[in-house]
């Protein structure tokens, strides 16, 4: 489990399709790779991956077919900056929210605008993301959402556009400062919201208000 508090940044070195899984190789600070062991989990821009071929300042991971379909990782090019987080040890304070590293889908960055343009290095920012409509039932104002592995609070939701307030630290310490309008971003909705919605729909189905076909149509 992760919390969405980004530990450091890494850089994509290569993305290599193979006969099996696609392999990505990343450069990362030694302070992170020195704590990795073969088979450990690591979140790469919100995607839980298994660390392989670990060396000083570098590691690789394989992308399964599901990962390629759901996330942006296979479409990143060498030089792209990614967010990195190691799993949260049991008993550690939960600073963000419960993040599984199981990305639901990708969204599109519409804009990232400084609210104080005269001093952008000290400004807070407004982030607007277009999300798949199917995910909006799990998103509420002041609720949690994970964007590129970052635990963020929803400031507003208008149809399929999520607005988030970004503080200067988050802007500088994550890959948000390297993203441009139109970029794909990995999205993970709050797991508690997903369970709550599933239980609600199953309750409706049990009372006959919603049919089994209706559940299937909603992805259940």
Task: Measure CA 116 to chain center.
Answer: 27
Q: What backbone phi and psi angles, to 5 degrees, belong to 178?
A: -100, -5
**Residue 210: per-residue pLDDT:** 60
Mean pLDDT, the chain, integer:
92
Which stretches of the chain are assigned E, i.e. beta strand? 8-16, 22-27, 41-44, 47-50, 52-55, 58-63, 81-85, 105-114, 125-130, 144-147, 150-158, 161-166, 184-189
Backbone angles phi, psi at 96, to 5 degrees: -105, -110
Torsion of CA 68, 70, 71, 76, to 10 degrees: 40
Q: Work out the pLDDT band at 122, boundaries 50, 70, 90.
A: confident
HSE-up of residue 212 (Cα within 13 Å, Cβ side) = 0
pLDDT, one tens digit per residue, over 52-69 is 999 999 999 999 999 999
pLDDT tens per residue, range 132-183: 999 999 999 999 999 999 999 999 999 999 999 999 999 999 999 999 999 9
| Long-range contacts from 110-117, C-beta under 8 angstroms, 24+ separation | 110/161, 110/181, 111/181, 112/166, 112/176, 112/179, 112/181
Read off the tokens for 159. Answer: 């149809």
How far apart (Å, rounded) are the C-alpha atoms in residues 100 and 84?
14
Q: Which domains does the chain have, with CATH numbers?
A: 8-85 (2.40.30.20), 105-192 (2.40.30.20), 193-220 (no CATH)
């Amino acid at each position: 489990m992760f919390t969405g508090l980004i530990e450091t940044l890494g850089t994509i070195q290569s993305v290599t399709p193979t006969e099996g899984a696609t392999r990505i190789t990343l450069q990362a600070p030694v302070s992170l790779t020195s704590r990795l062991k073969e088979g450990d989990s690591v979140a790469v821009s919100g995607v839980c991956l298994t660390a392989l071929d670990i060396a000083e300042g570098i590691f690789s991971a394989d992308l399964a077919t599901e990962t390629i379909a759901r996330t942006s990782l296979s479409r990143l090019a060498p030089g792209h900056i990614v967010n990195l987080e190691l799993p949260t040890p049991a008993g550690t304070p939960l600073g963000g929210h419960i993040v599984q590293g199981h990305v639901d889908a990708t969204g599109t960055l519409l804009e990232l605008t400084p609210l104080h343009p005269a001093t952008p290095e000290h400004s807070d920012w407004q982030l607007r993301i277009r999300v798949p409509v199917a995910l909006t039932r799990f998103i509420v104002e002041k609720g949690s959402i994970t964007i590129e592995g970052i635990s963020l609070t929803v400031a507003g939701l208008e149809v399929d556009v999520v607005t988030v307030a970004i503080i200067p630290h988050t802007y500088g310490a994550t890959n948000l400062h390297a993203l441009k309008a139109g970029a794909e971003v990995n999205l993970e909705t709050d797991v508690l919201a997903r369970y709550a919605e599933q239980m609600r729909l199953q309750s409706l189905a049990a009372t006959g208000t919603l049919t089994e076909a209706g559940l299937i149509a909603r992805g259940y």
